[in-house]
């Protein structure tokens, strides 16, 4: 099969299209013929290399995959060749205490497809059968590939960690990202009020089109100032964070008493300052989120299939143009997901 592989860490220029042996299914595995694979910033971090994502080389990236089942391994009885499917990006053991407690995103051996196992930047991918979800014919492969990682993360942040309610005021920081576009839709689906931040008029307009009630250009205006004005000085109940130092003070400063800040990323750096007096006197909660659970993905897929939620696709590229696709993502000028088509 053809696959986009890299033999050394670096930038998009280190990736090349190569012919590699077809994957064979072990017991409990499924081979999926890839029809679409969405890009994530995670891919660039794995490609760059570092202690957080140790991978063997050569390696194939790609966490978000949809396709058609080509073969099933021994012991797989509920899936069959020819089925249209989407792949859950989180790989868990389903045997450890966390997994048994339904927190499979906190599994002792948790990994993400393409960040340990070979991923979907290829014509075929091998995954555990428990990671494979059938999808309806009405769901295009591009849209199926574009939703899992971002919608799962955003759902886990807002609904599970944030306890999202329909009367909540929600600040979505970095609305043009994949998780941001998912967060706006999930918050609106639950009836909450959404203030979205972005850094250009075009992106702000797209955030509004997705349902944001109000927007703020964070390159021009103070997010906290706008958030306070928007809530009649009250502040927001939930801040959806993944940017880090560049927006942190503004994000914390936007919270209402009892508010929750939930973060899933650190795009602009790993360290922030926090005034503890502010945290205890206002009873703020600072929460982390790592992907989400299999049960949450099941719920989200139902809503994607029913067209209640929809992954926004910025652009598709053929697999052969994988370098251009990654460079396009690096430039951060897009709104929504970038999808590779083998």
User: Cα(174)–Cα(195) distance, rounded to whole angstroms?
Assistant: 11
User: Cα(65)–Cα(339) distance, rounded to whole angstroms?
Assistant: 10
| Tokens linked to 117 | 């196992």
Is residue 287 within the footprint of Zn ion (CB under 5 A)? no
Is residue 266 within the footprint of Zn ion (CB under 5 A)? no
E strand spans, 118-254: 124-128, 132-134, 169-172, 193-198, 214-217, 236-241
Q: How far is the CB of 100 from Zn ion (least distance, A)?
A: 8
Is residue 107 within the footprint of Zn ion (CB under 5 A)? yes
Segment lying near Zn ion (by CB under 5 A), choices 95-103, 197-205, 240-248, 321-329? 95-103
User: Cα(62)–Cα(60) distance, rounded to whole angstroms?
Assistant: 7
- Judged by beta carbon, residue 94 or residue 278, the one nearer Zn ion is 94
Pairing of strands 193-198, 214-217: parallel
Is residue 91 within the footprint of Zn ion (CB under 5 A)? no
- Judged by beta carbon, residue 109 or residue 205, the one nearer Zn ion is 109
- Judged by beta carbon, residue 43 or residue 104, the one nearer Zn ion is 104
CB 2 within 8 A of CB 34: no
Is residue 189 within the footprint of Zn ion (CB under 5 A)? no
Segment lying near Zn ion (by CB under 5 A), choices 31-39, 99-107, 198-206, 278-286? 99-107
Element (H, E) at 318: strand 313-318
Is residue 99 within the footprint of Zn ion (CB under 5 A)? yes
Q: Which of 128, 3, 160, 131 is nearest to 64 (CA)?
A: 131
Segment lying near Zn ion (by CB under 5 A), choices 26-34, 93-101, 205-213, 290-298? 93-101
Is residue 96 within the footprint of Zn ion (CB under 5 A)? yes
Is residue 106 within the footprint of Zn ion (CB under 5 A)? no
The strand order across the sheet containing 214-217 reads 214-217, 193-198, 169-172, 236-241, 255-263, 285-288
Is residue 37 within the footprint of Zn ion (CB under 5 A)? no
- Judged by beta carbon, residue 100 or residue 298, the one nearer Zn ion is 100
Segment lying near Zn ion (by CB under 5 A), choices 42-50, 72-80, 94-102, 262-270? 94-102
Segment lying near Zn ion (by CB under 5 A), choices 80-88, 98-106, 153-161, 266-274? 98-106
Q: How far is the CB of 130 from Zn ion (least distance, A)?
A: 11
CB 135 within 8 A of CB 305: yes
User: Cα(181)–Cα(177) distance, rounded to whole angstroms?
Assistant: 6
CB 107 within 8 A of CB 93: yes
In terms of DSSP H, where are the helices of 156-237? 178-189, 201-209, 223-230
Q: How far is the CB of 307 from Zn ion (least distance, A)?
A: 33
Segment lying near Zn ion (by CB under 5 A), choices 71-79, 86-94, 116-124, 237-245? 86-94
Q: How far is the CB of 116 from Zn ion (least distance, A)?
A: 14
Supply the Cα-derived Rg of the chain in whole angstroms: 20
Q: How far is the CB of 109 from Zn ion (least distance, A)?
A: 6
Is residue 93 within the footprint of Zn ion (CB under 5 A)? yes
Q: How far is the CB of 102 from Zn ion (least distance, A)?
A: 11
Q: Give the residues across from 16 on adjacent strands.
A: 5
Q: How far is the CB of 12 from Zn ion (least distance, A)?
A: 33
**Footprint of Zn ion on this chain (CB under 5 A)?**
92-93, 96, 99, 107
């Amino acid at each position: 099969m053809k696959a986009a592989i890299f033999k050394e860490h670096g930038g998009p220029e280190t990736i090349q299209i190569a012919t590699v042996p077809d994957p064979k299914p072990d017991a409990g595995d499924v081979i999926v013929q890839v029809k679409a694979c969405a890009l994530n910033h995670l891919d660039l971090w794995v490609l760059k290399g570092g202690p957080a994502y140790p991978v063997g080389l050569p390696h194939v990236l790609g966490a978000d995959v949809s396709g058609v089942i080509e073969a099933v391994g021994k012991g797989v009885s509920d899936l069959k060749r020819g089925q249209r499917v989407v792949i859950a990006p989180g790989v868990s053991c389903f045997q450890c205490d966390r997994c048994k407690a339904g927190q499979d995103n906190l599994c002792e051996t948790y990994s993400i497809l393409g960040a340990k196992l070979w991923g979907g930047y290829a014509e075929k991918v091998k995954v555990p059968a428990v990671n494979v979800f059938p999808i309806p014919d009405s769901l295009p492969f591009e849209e199926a590939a574009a939703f899992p990682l971002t919608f799962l993360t955003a759902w886990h942040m807002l609904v599970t960690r944030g306890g999202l309610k329909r009367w909540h005021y929600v600040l979505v920081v970095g609305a043009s990202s994949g998780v941001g576009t998912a967060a706006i839709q999930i918050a609106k689906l639950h009836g909450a009020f959404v203030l979205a931040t972005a850094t250009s008029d075009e992106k702000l307009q797209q955030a509004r089109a997705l349902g944001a009630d109000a927007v703020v250009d964070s390159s021009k205006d103070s997010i906290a100032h706008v958030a306070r004005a928007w809530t009649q000085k009250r502040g927001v109940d939930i801040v959806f964070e993944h940017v880090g130092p560049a927006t942190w003070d503004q994000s914390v400063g936007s919270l209402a008493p009892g508010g929750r800040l939930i973060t899933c990323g650190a795009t602009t750096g790993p360290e922030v300052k926090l005034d503890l007096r502010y945290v205890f006197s206002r009873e703020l909660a600072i929460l982390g989120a790592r992907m989400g659970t299999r049960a949450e993905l099941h719920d989200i897929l139902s809503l994607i299939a029913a067209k209640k939620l929809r992954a926004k696709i910025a652009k598709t590229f053929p697999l052969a143009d994988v370098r251009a696709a990654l460079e396009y993502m690096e430039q951060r000028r897009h709104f929504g997901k970038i999808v590779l088509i083998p």
